């Protein structure tokens, strides 16, 4: 995938990703118009399909709301690259299929509006604007297995169907 960088700082929290006042919906199309509204009101008007959010440390801290990665997906974002992710956001992103990459070097080198290319399977991030190449921390093997079967929902679906007589 290839997209334009929208760069933000440390501790981008779930309240700014999608404020609770919109969390009476959990459908990504309805959440999308409000994605990052309280942090960057122009974001949803500027973002194009496949663009990439670059955050600092502790991206997605705060609430357990799965509406947060759903809002980002709904806005058309292709991936989030950050120095580190908050724990629940990390799980939720894997579970809803939002590609996330932990890669401090790529974050530090990326500037607003740079073009990034990401090989999702290999975790290879190339900054097409500056020319730098980086490799994100790989997912642990057992998480990789869950991602490879199509996510946790599919993993559980298969497990349940195997249990049927």
* Residues making contact with another protein (CB under 8 A): 10-11, 13, 15-16, 19-21, 23-26, 37-39, 57-58, 61-67, 84, 86-88, 91-92, 95-96, 140-143, 146, 151-153, 155-157, 159-161
Residue whose CB is less far from another protein, 58 or 127: 58
Residue whose CB is less far from another protein, 10 or 112: 10
SS3 133: strand
Residue whose CB is less far from another protein, 50 or 151: 151
Radius of gyration of the chain (CA): 16
CB of 25 to another protein, least distance (A): 7
CB of 33 to another protein, least distance (A): 15
CB of 133 to another protein, least distance (A): 27
Alpha helices, H only, 114-151 = 141-148
Could you give phi then psi for residue 133, rounded to 5 degrees?
Answer: -125, 140
**Phi-psi domain of 105 (left: phi exceeds 0; alpha: psi -120 through 50; beta: other):** alpha
Degrees (nearest 5) of the Cα angle 68, 139, 133? 90
- Give dist(CA 2, CA 52) in Å, integer: 8
CB of 79 to another protein, least distance (A): 19
Residue whose CB is less far from another protein, 21 or 122: 21
């Amino acid at each position: 995938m290839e997209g334009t960088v929208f760069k933000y700082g440390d501790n981008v929290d779930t309240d700014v990703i999608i404020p609770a006042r919109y969390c009476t919906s959990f459908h990504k199309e309805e959440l999308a118009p409000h994605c990052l509204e309280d942090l960057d009101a122009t974001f949803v008007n500027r973002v194009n399909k496949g663009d990439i959010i670059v955050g600092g440390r502790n991206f997605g801290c705060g609430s357990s709301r799965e509406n947060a990665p759903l809002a980002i997906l709904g806005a058309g974002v292709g991936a989030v690259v950050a120095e580190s992710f908050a724990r629940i956001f990390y799980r939720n992103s894997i579970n809803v299929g939002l590609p996330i990459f932990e890669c401090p070097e790529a974050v530090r080198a990326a500037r607003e509006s740079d073009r990034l290319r990401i090989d999702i399977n290999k975790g290879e991030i190339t900054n097409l604007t500056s020319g730098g190449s980086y490799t994100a921390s790989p997912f642990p093997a057992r998480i990789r297995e869950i991602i490879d079967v199509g996510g946790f929902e599919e993993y559980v679906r298969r497990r349940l169907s195997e249990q049927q007589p």
